[in-house]
């Protein structure tokens, strides 16, 4: 591990910051000073103080506690949605790369998914399903599927043409063995780097859905939702919108710094894609 | 080249068919009976059956799809449940505002991104380079709505210089520009970091090419080498990327319009979802996805024209 980010102070700083957020999210029930849903109207819209570190919102809820709990939602959704994209996209990519018959239909279907801007694709899923955490995970994860499928398919095609894959086939290795022993380990570096960057994008996309009122519903402590609710109090209490917004920014920045470091370290070339 | 254009067109038609199927299926999957929604909750069974027949919902699904595509090709996307106006008219009213916002943002992101990228590449390793690259990374990590909220807070509420949002009151006036400033900066913020990073890395690649060494060797001024020889060649991937960013910004416009109450299609879409106005949702998504597909096609063809070295196999 110590050689992983050698010479990349940025990546280390990002990793430290990310770990801090993960710990905070995991330990939220123990370290949060207040119940994130508890409303104390008498204490509404207070600025940061020693009793409320990040102040209180329009219902007198403690913003620091809500930001801590919000981390569970945002990080959880991001990880699970990337996992969803990785598993579904990975299997499709394996199928396409391995079977000439499946290649065309699978990749054309991926082209169709890619022809929607990410926000629109997520909105479509949200329109069909009931609002909730699972819906947001699916809505955000669908966008990752075609990219992972393309990447894994590409890796399969490259690996299949390499001498050691031919050698594996020549000594009579089964398909399953070729996949698990040669193709998966060899497509791992780009998939790992891409997954990291995808976590960052998915945190942003999930927050956008909630900001639009299409993701996590009130009174949930989701960062994007908190910003959109705080938007109305910008004049008198800007911290209500800023604090959760800055939390998103910090955690996405941290993930991107780790992703950049991994990319340099593993020497992976990726096409950059926007949110 | 002609063969490539034909292949690319065929692929595009296929993608558009896929998009229309997906949008069609999406609306079928929405819970609830569209006939009941159209007829109103208090409609009798006969009235609902009547509406169902009128919509062709009693036909087999593939006939429904064929009719839907046939009508869509004629520009008939149905009527809004809310306003009772044809959906294409709603789109026609709202799309120009989205297009304006997107184009201005794209231009902003392009100019700033390229300048920052070139300066960083030319002064690689300097303090300017570090600051620019940290800034780009921060830009890429910034949630678009946080940027919007920060700008509103600073320029509208704190400094009182610009409006917090809303529709521009007139077409050609200072007020129009004042309303456009914050939304377009917000939307451009999504892309500017990406453009800067891409410009920097392609510039760094190009600078090591032989033709740049040749240009230097024959004694050209460094300025001409960089801006005429290197930059021109580095621009090819950047221009392509900018084209693709147009579609990304179209998606980002949905959020930006919501933040600033900008009267575009994105806001129309979110409003339609809130009021469960399915014909508008369907029409808006189909339209925006088609524009996205068309732009991607255009960019691909342009790329082939810009860079004749690319082979199309």
Which residue on chain B is closest to A257 by alpha carbon? B137
Asked if residue A70 has pLDDT above 50, the reply is yes
Q: Is A234 on the interface with B (CB under 8 A)?
A: yes
Report the mean per-residue pLDDT for chain B.
86
A128 to chain B: which residues are within 8 Å by CB? 26, 29-31
Q: What is the pLDDT of residue A1?
A: 44
Our CA-based measurement puts residue A266 at a distance from the nearest CA of chain B, in whole angstroms, of 17
Asked if residue B63 has pLDDT above 80, the reply is yes
- DSSP string for chain A: -TTTTTT-HHHHHHHHHHHHHHHHHHTHHHH-SS-TT---GGGTTPPS-SSSTT-B-TT--BHHHHHHHHHHHHHHHHHHHHHHHHHHHHHHHHHHHH-HHHHHHHHHHHHHHHTS-HHHHHHHHHHHSPSSHHHHHHHHHHHHHHHHHHHHHHHHHHHHHSHHHHHHHHTT--HHHHIIIIIHHHHHHHHHHHHHHHHHHHHHHHHHHHHTTSSSPTTS--HHHHHHHHGGGTTT-THHHHHHHHHHHHHHHHHHHHHHHHHHHHT--------
Which residue on chain A is closest to B258 by alpha carbon? A212
pLDDT tens per residue across span B151-202 = 999 999 999 899 988 888 888 888 888 999 999 999 999 889 999 999 998 8
Q: Is A127 on the interface with B (CB under 8 A)?
A: yes
Query: In this complex, do A238 and B153 lie within 8 Å of one another by their Cβ atoms?
Result: yes
Contact criterion met (CB below 8 Å) for B159 and A235: no
pLDDT bin (cut points 50, 70, 90) of residue A77 is very high
Q: What is the pLDDT of residue A273?
A: 40
Q: Is B282 on the interface with A (CB under 8 A)?
A: no
Asked if residue A135 has pLDDT above 50, the reply is yes
For A117-126, A180-189, B23-32, B129-138, which range has the lowest pLDDT when averaged over its residues? A180-189
Nearest CB to B145; choose among A109, A111, A211: A211
Query: In this complex, do B149 and A227 lie within 8 Å of one another by their Cβ atoms?
Result: yes
- State the Rg of chain A over Cα: 21
Asked if residue B269 has pLDDT above 80, the reply is yes
Q: Is B103 on the interface with A (CB under 8 A)?
A: no
Average pLDDT over residues B66-82: 85
Asked if residue B104 has pLDDT above 60, the reply is yes
pLDDT tens per residue across span A218-244 = 888 899 999 999 988 888 889 999 999
Asked if residue B313 has pLDDT above 50, the reply is no
Q: Is B204 on the interface with A (CB under 8 A)?
A: no
Contact criterion met (CB below 8 Å) for B281 and B269: yes
Two structure tokens written together for B7: 């292949």
Q: Is B152 on the interface with A (CB under 8 A)?
A: yes
B198 to chain A: which residues are within 8 Å by CB? 272
Q: What is the pLDDT of residue B308?
A: 64
pLDDT bin (cut points 50, 70, 90) of residue B41 is low
Nearest CB to B137; choose among A117, A231, A257: A257
Asked if residue B34 has pLDDT above 80, the reply is no
The model's pTM is 0.89
Cα(B262)–Cα(A257) distance, integer angstroms: 33
Average pLDDT over residues A173-201: 81
Q: What is the pLDDT of residue B144?
A: 94
B288 to chain A: which residues are within 8 Å by CB? 117, 120
pLDDT tens per residue across span B208-236 = 788 888 888 888 888 888 887 888 888 88
Q: What is the pLDDT of residue A34?
A: 87
Cα(B144)–Cα(B189) distance, integer angstroms: 7
Cα separation of the two ends of chain A: 30
Asked if residue B274 has pLDDT above 60, the reply is yes
User: What is the torsion angle, in degrees rounded to the nearest 10, for the CA atoms of residue B64, residue B70, residue B75 and residue B81?
Assistant: -10
Q: Is A269 on the interface with B (CB under 8 A)?
A: no
Which residue on chain B is closest to A129 by alpha carbon? B30
Residue of B24, B240, B251, B256 for testing the chain A interface, max A β-carbons within 10 Å = B251
Our CA-based measurement puts residue A169 at a distance from the nearest CA of chain B, in whole angstroms, of 28
Our CA-based measurement puts residue B142 at a distance from the nearest CA of chain A, in whole angstroms, of 5
B245 to chain A: which residues are within 8 Å by CB? 274
Q: Is B136 on the interface with A (CB under 8 A)?
A: no
ipTM: 0.87
Residue of B17, B146, B237 for testing the chain A interface, max A β-carbons within 10 Å = B146
Average pLDDT over residues A8-30: 90
A234 to chain B: which residues are within 8 Å by CB? 149, 152-153, 157
């Amino acid at each position: 591990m110590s050689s992983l980010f050698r010479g990349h102070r940025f990546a280390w700083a990002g990793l430290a910051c990310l770990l801090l957020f993960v710990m905070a999210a995991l330990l939220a029930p123990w370290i949060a000073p207040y119940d994130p849903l508890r409303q104390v109207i008498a204490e509404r819209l207070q600025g940061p103080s020693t009793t409320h570190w990040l102040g209180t919102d329009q219902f007198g809820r403690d913003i620091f506690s809500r930001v801590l709990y919000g981390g569970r939602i945002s990080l959880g959704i991001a990880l699970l949605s990337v996992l969803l994209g990785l598993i579904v996209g990975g299997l499709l990519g394996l199928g396409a790369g391995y079977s000439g018959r499946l290649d065309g239909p699978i990749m054309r279907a991926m082209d169709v998914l890619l022809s929607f801007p990410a926000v629109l694709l997520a909105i479509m899923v949200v329109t069909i399903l009931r609002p909730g955490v699972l819906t947001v995970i699916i809505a955000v994860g669908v966008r990752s599927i075609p990219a992972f499928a393309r990447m894994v398919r590409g890796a399969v095609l490259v690996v299949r043409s390499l001498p050691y894959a031919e050698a594996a086939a020549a000594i009579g290795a089964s398909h399953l063995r070729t996949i698990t022993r040669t193709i998966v380990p060899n497509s791992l570096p780009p998939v790992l780097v891409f997954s990291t960057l995808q976590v960052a994008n998915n945190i942003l996309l999930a927050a956008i859905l909630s900001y639009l009122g299409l993701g996590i519903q009130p009174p949930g402590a989701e960062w994007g939702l908190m910003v959109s609710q705080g938007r109305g109090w910008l004049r008198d209490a800007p911290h209500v919108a800023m604090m959760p917004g800055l939390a998103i920014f910090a955690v996405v920045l941290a993930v991107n710094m780790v992703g950049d470091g991994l990319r340099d370290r593993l020497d992976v070339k990726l096409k950059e894609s926007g949110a | 080249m002609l063969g490539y254009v034909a292949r690319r067109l065929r692929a595009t038609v296929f993608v558009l068919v896929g998009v229309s199927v997906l949008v069609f299926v999406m609306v079928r999957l929405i819970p609830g009976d569209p006939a009941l929604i159209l007829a109103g909750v208090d409609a009798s069974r006969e009235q609902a059956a009547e509406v169902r027949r009128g919509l062709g919902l009693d036909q087999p699904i593939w006939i429904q799809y064929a009719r839907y595509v046939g009508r869509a090709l004629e520009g008939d996307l149905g009527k809004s449940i809310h306003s009772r106006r044809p959906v294409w008219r709603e789109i026609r009213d709202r799309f120009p505002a989205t297009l304006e916002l997107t184009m201005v943002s794209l231009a902003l992101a392009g100019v700033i991104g390229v300048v920052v990228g070139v300066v960083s590449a030319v002064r690689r390793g300097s303090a300017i380079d570090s600051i620019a690259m940290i800034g780009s990374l921060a830009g890429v990590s910034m949630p678009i709505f946080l940027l919007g909220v920060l700008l509103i807070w600073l320029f509208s509420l704190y400094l009182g210089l610009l409006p917090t949002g809303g529709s521009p009151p007139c077409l050609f006036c200072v007020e129009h520009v004042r309303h456009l400033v914050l939304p377009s900066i917000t939307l451009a913020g999504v892309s500017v970091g990406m453009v800067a990073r891409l410009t920097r890395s392609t510039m760094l690649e190009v600078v090591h090419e032989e033709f740049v060494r040749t240009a230097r060797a024959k004694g050209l001024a460094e300025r001409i080498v960089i801006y005429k020889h290197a930059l021109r060649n580095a621009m090819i991937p950047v221009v392509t990327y900018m084209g693709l960013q147009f579609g990304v910004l179209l998606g980002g416009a949905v959020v930006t319009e919501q933040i600033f109450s900008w009267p575009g299609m994105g806001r129309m879409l979110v409003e339609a979802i809130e009021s469960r106005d399915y014909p508008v949702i369907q029409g808006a998504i189909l339209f925006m996805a088609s524009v996205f597909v068309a732009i991607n096609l255009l960019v691909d063809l342009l790329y082939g024209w810009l860079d004749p070295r690319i082979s199309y196999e």
